Chain A
Amino acid sequence: MKPSNRTGIMGRIVARVLLALGYVFIWAPVIVLVLFSFSRNKFGLWWEGFTLQWYAELLTNAKVGQALQTSLIVAAVAVVVSTALGTLAAYGLYKYRFRGKKAVRIGLLLPIVMPPVVIGAALLAFFSKVIRIPLGYPSILIAHISFSVPLATFVILGRMARIDWSLEEASADLGADTLTTWRKIIVPLLLPGIIASAALIFPWSFDDVTVTFFVAGTGTMTLPLYIFSRIRAGPSPIINAIGMIFVALPTIGLVLWTMLQSRVSGKKR
């Protein structure tokens, strides 16, 4: 922030203070979490000495491992199925004219704009009363896919508008049948959109609490659900440890990414 000379010392101080406050509110909880994940105190509330015991416990805690695995599997399946369905849906919406197209579009928008609580409750009622779907992996997967497909569809739809579609015709003209054209031309061209939707869906699915809470039933736990249930029993440093891992990983990832980017653009020059 570079205020003009006319702003004066006072203005600059105020601006700096506000900026600092903003950062404090964003980062303080995270820093506390990270710090106290290393604290010996059983509740992770004040400092009692450095320890790595909570991380050790994480490694041996079967429930956490199980929940993590569930979350990863659900997110991975959601990404794959949703991007595939989303691609087909985007293609259909972009290229074909059919009756009820507007209805389809609105229908796709709904899961994104409806409150997750509403979706969760509705799905629970649906799975219990209307169609008997066992509560657990099946219901969680269906729920996650249902709200991920619209996301993928619209992201990929945006990408579709920026593609020169005579490329598809050229492929056919040169002798490629429909499947080959999809494999060699359409999917590679849509890839940025597909990757973008995967990048949106994976964290969304992994992180989801509300809808998953409603449809998970008793036997299955995703990681957020596990954390949620543990927190209800009282604060625990294990939660801090989990939190620390999920702060560290993306941060390292981002740092590496930025370093790679500047390397690449540096080279290009």
Chain B
Amino acid sequence: MVLAMVVCANIGDLLLKLGMTQIGAVEFTAPGLAHAFRETVTSGTIWLGILFLLGFMVSYMTVLSWADYSFVMPAGAFGYAVLTLLAVIFLHERVSPGRWVGVILICVGVLLVGQTRPRTTEAALQSKVTA
């Protein structure tokens, strides 16, 4: 579920970025903004991006209904590491040594947090009874 959360957030962001690049730079005037609004509302890429971000929100809420916030939050940072790897593999970007050190720190940090108990507070009594 945490994996779904990270994947959805990243794909959603990438699609939004892709969609907005297709539309081009927005002019900060009333007609410019109105034009940009029409373009974004009719763009399939933007809607797909929003759908993925909604998927992120639902998985995030579901995870938080049983796991600690201090457990889920660092795991979300795993996305930065995934994004760097994707940039290297698919976009053939050059990554500076400092950035690689950052990716390694994130991975070690997420692994450390992942070893701890996901839930340290008491379960709500009403959970799993209804529905």
Q: A and B from one assembly? A: no
Q: Which residues of A contact B (CB under 8 A)?
A: none
